[in-house]
């Protein structure tokens, strides 16, 4: 790997300094921490906080803005922040409407965020959480606890962000989160592994003509290595697997997210989006909303993920469509 940045440096500090200098009109970074806040926090709506390890940019700092997050708490590469910093973030952004934590389902993330939530509650603060577990590479039923939170988390930011702006209170937002998260399903595929600064060895290696279905966002291995396939064939695999996740539900109206993992060009993502749209058309699954881009990356992985959201309630779509100045949302 080419050492462009040094793992021995303070990557998190440099990263957040760089981002907050560019987007200083919207963002306040609390120097020396992983906490980035919205410049002006509305006292009249529930505060939304997310976060996790770095290396997934623009997640989550890129989702701070109007009708999305109020705050993101970031750790160093692929490592969540400490509960102490999350508690500090809760306190620094607190208002009388309470705070909702949006957590990706990883053991370490849960530990940090839930510890901070408990400590905040002990201080009398009104804090709740939702856990995003949209990754479908682990079989439903057996190891559900291990289903990870991946790109679908961005849909949760957008829907809950819109609902918070619309004045929904903390219990309603929590229920909305718990209602829509099971309707979000994601599968990823990689053509290369991630090579983040200072993190060797890689968890898997692929031959020049191989690809890997079901990989995670931290370079975790997937469920099947295959010979490299075309965009069209990959779309068939992912759409079929995702459809099966909805059991007896009918996919009446969907939102789709084609997410680049950091090293794939937008041209290829767009071609893949076209393949997905054509497949869904053939299958009579209407697409009401779609987005393409790097939303939740796995450092520089050459690969992508596809997320389906079964839009059960029309208001979810309204929230998705609300404008935002968050720089990561396109």
Distance of CA 97 to the CA centre of its chain: 24
Q: Does 216 bind a second copy (CB under 8 A)?
A: no
What lies within 8 Å, CB to CB, of 127 at 6+ separation is 90, 98, 99, 100, 101, 117, 120, 121
Instruction: Candidates 29, 299, 316, 319: give the one binding a second copy (CB under 8 A).
Output: 299
Q: Does 3 bind a second copy (CB under 8 A)?
A: yes
Give me the sign of the Cα torsion angle 273, 278, 283, 284: positive
Residue 285 DSSP SS3 = coil
Cβ closest to a second copy, residue 200 vs residue 267 = 267
Whole-number Cα distances in Å, 10 to 15, 34, 54, 79, 197: 9, 11, 12, 14, 12
User: Would you say 184 and 308 are in contact if contact means Cβ atoms under 8 Å apart?
Assistant: yes
Instruction: Candidates 199, 204, 231, 279: give the one binding a second copy (CB under 8 A).
Output: 231
Rg (CA), the chain: 19
Q: Does 300 bind a second copy (CB under 8 A)?
A: yes
Near a second copy by CB under 8 A, which window of 43-51, 102-110, 173-181, 204-212? Answer: 204-212
Give me the sign of the Cα torsion angle 114, 56, 76, 49: negative
- Smallest separation, CB 156 to a second copy (Å): 19
Ramachandran region of residue 237, left (φ > 0), alpha (ψ -120 to 50) or beta?
A: alpha
**Which of positions 43-62 make contact with a second copy (CB under 8 A)?**
54-55, 57-58
- Smallest separation, CB 72 to a second copy (Å): 13
Structure tokens at 307: 């997320």
Near a second copy by CB under 8 A, which window of 136-144, 180-188, 217-225, 262-270? Answer: 262-270
Instruction: Candidates 32, 171, 265, 286: give the one binding a second copy (CB under 8 A).
Output: 265
User: Would you say 134 and 149 are in contact if contact means Cβ atoms under 8 Å apart?
Assistant: yes
Cβ closest to a second copy, residue 21 vs residue 121 = 21
Which residues are catalytic, by number?
A: 56, 218
Cβ closest to a second copy, residue 17 vs residue 175 = 17
Q: Does 262 bind a second copy (CB under 8 A)?
A: yes
Residues forming contacts to a second copy in the complex (CB under 8 A) are 2-6, 11, 14-19, 21-22, 54-55, 57-58, 77, 191, 197, 208-209, 211, 228, 230-231, 234, 258, 262-275, 277, 287, 290-294, 297, 299-300, 302, 323, 325, 327-328, 330
């Amino acid at each position: 790997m080419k050492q462009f940045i040094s793992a021995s440096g303070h990557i998190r500090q440099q990263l957040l300094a760089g981002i907050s200098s560019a987007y200083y009109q919207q963002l306040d970074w609390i120097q020396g921490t992983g906490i980035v806040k919205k410049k002006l926090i509305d006292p009249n709506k529930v505060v939304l906080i997310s976060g996790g390890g770095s290396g997934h940019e623009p997640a989550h700092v890129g989702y701070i803005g109007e009708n999305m997050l109020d705050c993101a708490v970031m750790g160093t590469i692929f490592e969540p922040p400490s509960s102490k910093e999350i508690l500090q973030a809760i306190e620094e952004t607190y208002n009388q409407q309470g705070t909702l934590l949006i957590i990706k389902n990883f053991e370490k993330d849960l530990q940090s965020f839930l510890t901070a939530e408990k400590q905040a509650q002990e201080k009398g603060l009104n804090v709740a959480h939702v856990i995003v577990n949209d990754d479908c590479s682990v079989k439903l039923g057996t190891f559900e606890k291990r289903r990870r939170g991946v790109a679908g988390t961005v849909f949760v930011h957008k829907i809950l962000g819109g609902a918070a702006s619309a004045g929904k209170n903390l219990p309603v937002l929590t229920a909305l989160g718990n209602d829509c998260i099971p309707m979000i399903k994601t599968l990823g595929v990689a053509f290369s592994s991630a090579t983040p600064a200072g993190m060797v060895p890689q968890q898997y290696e692929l031959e020049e003509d191989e690809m890997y279905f079901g990989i995670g966002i931290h370079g975790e291995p997937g469920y099947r290595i295959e010979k490299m396939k075309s965009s069209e064939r990959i779309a068939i695999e992912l759409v079929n697997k995702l459809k099966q996740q909805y059991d007896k539900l009918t996919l009446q109206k969907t939102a789709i997210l084609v997410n680049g993992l950091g090293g794939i060009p937008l041209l290829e993502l767009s071609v893949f989006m076209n393949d997905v749209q054509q497949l869904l058309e053939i299958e009579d699954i209407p697409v009401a909303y779609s987005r393409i881009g790097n939303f939740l990356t796995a450092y520089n992985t050459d690969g992508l993920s596809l997320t389906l959201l079964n839009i059960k309630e029309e208001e979810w779509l309204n929230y998705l469509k609300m404008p935002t100045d968050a720089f990561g949302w396109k």
